[in-house]
């Protein structure tokens, strides 16, 4: 049976793999694969956050860093790169059993993934017009 730690690390690993796929799609100009990869990475990061919150129930209640965090307007590429770095750091923190910092970095990475999704959607709307139907579901 898989431990909670293995499930968290698995979710972070999956997010990182989907981010890698997204970066390749971005480089190739494959918008649909990029959108899907970001969506999957975001879902994996959200799952990791959920598991981290369960595993570290009695952990630090100080979340003041969330309000201090300013996620500036970013294009998809830089947002994905920052998310990749943060997820790699989160995995390192898991290895050091520092669940507070693993949670913090995963939360920040999730924010950058959402920024990337927003940037892609904004660009899509500019390209096809505001009345265009949303992209197909993943």
d(CA 103, CA 128): 37
Q: How many helices, marked H, and strands, marked E, lie in the chain?
A: 5, 0
pTM for the structure as a whole: 0.83
Give the tens place of pLDDT for each residue, 16-31: 999 999 999 999 999 9
pLDDT at 46 over 70: yes
Residue extents of the structural domains in the chain: 4-57+64-128
Q: Residue range 58-67: average pLDDT?
A: 60
pLDDT at 71 over 80: no
Indicate the pLDDT class of residue 33, thresholds 50, 70 and 90. very high
d(CA 128, CA 119): 14
Per the prediction, the chain carries an average pLDDT of 86
Check residue 138 and give its pLDDT.
52
Report the CATH architecture of 4-57+64-128.
Up-down Bundle (1.20)
């Amino acid at each position: 049976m898989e431990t909670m730690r293995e499930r968290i690390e698995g979710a972070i690993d999956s997010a990182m793999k989907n981010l890698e796929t997204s970066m390749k799609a971005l480089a190739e100009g494959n918008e649909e694969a990029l959108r899907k990869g970001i969506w999957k990475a975001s879902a994996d990061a959200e799952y990791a956050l959920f598991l981290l919150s369960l595993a570290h129930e009695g952990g630090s209640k100080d979340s003041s860093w969330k309000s201090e965090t300013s996620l500036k307007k970013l294009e998809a590429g830089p947002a994905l790169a920052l998310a990749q770095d943060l997820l790699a750091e989160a995995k390192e923190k898991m290895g050091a059993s520092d669940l507070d910092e693993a949670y913090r970095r995963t939360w920040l990475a999730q924010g950058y993934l959402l920024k990337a999704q927003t940037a892609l959607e904004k660009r899509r709307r500019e390209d096809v017009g505001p009345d265009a139907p949303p992209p197909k579901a993943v």
